[in-house]
Amino acid sequence: MKSVGDYIVCHKETCKIVEIKDNYYVLEPVNDQTLKMKVPIDSKVLRDLIKKEDIERLLREIKSIEVINSNDRMIENTYKELMQRGTYKDLIKIIKTTYLRNEMRKNNNKKISDKDDSYFTQAEKYLYSEFAIVLGLNFADTKQYVIDVVSKYD
């Protein structure tokens, strides 16, 4: 069982346990301390944080994670499906795809897509917030850490 002060993931949101009362966790998302959620301790929407070794393994695999190959009209549906599942690889797939699509637009002197930018930001928030807690870094340092580690595997 977890204790007050521990971290846990509720849906895809990394949360701190701020209280335990009557078989419920009172959770505070790390990205929004104004929000409190009351979730049964045995809820299926809760899971433990990723382990550091699993982060390292995942970062070694990033290059092999495919980008989304969808036409422009259908890509948002794919983003939604991946975001709904929210596995680490799904979030990485969204980050890689939206980043590359926006880079391509910038290189062609076009405005970046608000849709791609929104999914990119959301996927990064879920992924890096959890990684940050496990790695003991802040959000920006976690993002840089991921970039540095992935670039080593080029």
pTM: 0.91
pLDDT tens digit sequence for 4-15 = 999 999 999 999
User: What pLDDT digit, counting tens, does each position of 106-143 carry?
Assistant: 999 999 889 999 999 999 999 999 999 999 999 999 99
**Coil, helix or strand for 21?**
strand
Contact yes or no for 11/51 (Cβ under 8 A): no
Cα-Cα-Cα-Cα torsion 54, 55, 58, 60, nearest 10 degrees, comes to -110
Q: Judge: domain 52-152, CATH 1.20.58.
A: yes
- The span from the CA of 149 to the CA of 57, in Å, is 11
Q: Where in the chain is the domain with CATH 1.20.58?
A: 52-152
Tokens, residue 153? 């595997």
